[in-house]
Structure formats: structure tokens, C-alpha cells
Amino acid sequence: MAITGDGTAEGALPLPSNVVADRTPVQPTAMAAEPGTAVIGYRGPTACAAAGITYRQLDYWARTGLVEPSVRPAYGSGTQRLYSFRDVVVLKIVKRLLDTGVSLQNIRTAVQHLRSRELADLTRMTLMSDGATVYECTSPDQVVDLLQGGQGVFGIAIGVVWRDVESALSQLHGERVDTGETLVGQNPHDELARRRNRAG
């Protein structure tokens, strides 16, 4: 399936207009918590560290609507954006697409498509691109077909990105949305986190 945008890639022919094969409507971006579980959010610096981006990129992408925080947006001065795990995965994918020269318009379309997919679908998905068009592949056969057609140049296995982000966030601070409690991935007895929770 091709995911393309309205713009033109630099030095390339015009791209088709907003082609998304399955026409699935974009779903709300906030992740619903399972009953009895807390929603965890990640502040900007944590999201940056896990996604491998700068705070300037994070801020720009939020302000332009490319990747907005789905747990809590910033409401003026002094409020902290909170990003969900899924948001951080998308941030890392955007970074990889930008690094490989995919146009911003195509990245926007790819982000909308990723937001429309169920979480379980993402781990089985590979994004392939020839630099001008982004393709979704959900099976090894689709990847092979794309490569044999001479169209695919690089791929991003979402499951691998997912595990990378999971590993990075396990070492960083998260925040329970319901209580504001600071959580530390692998070390819940972290002294700094305990002090923050007592002071809060």
C-alpha cells in the first residue's frame, strides 16, 4: 500500500494526491487505558531522549501539528506536554524518515496513517520508501515484492522501533496522568523520584 502526499519531492516528478489505500479514517490519538491501569505520559525531554531528537524538533513538530502530544497538550506558559508511548514511537519514525530524505508532506501523510492503525498492527508493519513515496508492508512477501519492483530503497520495521523506544523509556522518567506521580522505568526506588513525589 502506498502512502503519499500532495507535495513534490525535491528533484522528482509530482506525487499523486493523498493516496492511502485503505481509506481508514484517522482515529483519536489518545491511547485509552485498560480498565484498572494508569495512563503514563512522558514529558518533552524524556520523549526527545527516547526518540533521538532535539527539543527544538519536538516543539516545532507539536506546534505545526506533525506529532502532537496525545496525553496532554501544552496549555500556555508553565504547562508540560505529555506524550504517550505511541507518540514517542511515531516521533522516532518521523526522525528516521526525515534522515532518509522523505518529504515533509509524505511524512505527514504517513503519520496520519500510523495514527489510524491499531496498536497491535503497528508491531507487524514495515514502512518502505524510495524517498518519494512511503509504502506500508505487513508481510515479508510484500517487502520482497516491493524490492523486486525496484521501488523500495530503505525500510523501517515498526516492531524494532517499538522495542528501541520501550528499552529507552524503561530507563527514563514517566508520569502517571491520574496522580502526577513520577515513575522511573526499571528502578522504582530512585531517590530523586521519591523526593519529587513527596514534594508534589
Check which CATH number belongs to the domain holding 146 and give it: 1.10.1660.10
Instruction: For residue 110, tell me if it sits in a domain.
Output: yes
User: Cell triple for residue 93?
Assistant: 519514525
State which residues form the domain around 179: 2-8+39-199
Residue 32 lies in a domain: no
Among candidate residues 29, 62, 30, 31, the one with its CA nearest the CA of residue 44? 62
Question: What pLDDT was estimated at residue 187?
Answer: 44
State the pLDDT at residue 198.
56
Confidence of residue 151 (pLDDT cuts 50, 70, 90): low
pLDDT at site 171: 92
- Span 46-95, pLDDT tens digits: 999 999 999 999 999 999 999 999 999 877 777 789 999 999 999 999 99
- In this prediction the pTM is 0.73
pLDDT band at 146 (very low <50, low <70, confident <90, very high): confident
DSSP state, residue 179: T
- Is there a contact between 38 and 82 (Cβ–Cβ < 8 Å)? no
pLDDT in tens, 16-50: 333 333 323 223 333 333 344 568 999 999 999 99
Residue 92, domain member (yes or no): yes
Please identify which residue in the block is written with the cell numbers 527514563: 172
Place of cell 502517571: 176
Number of domains in the chain: 1
**What is the rounded distance in angstroms from the CA atom of residue 43 to the CA atom of residue 80?**
7
DSSP label at residue 42: B
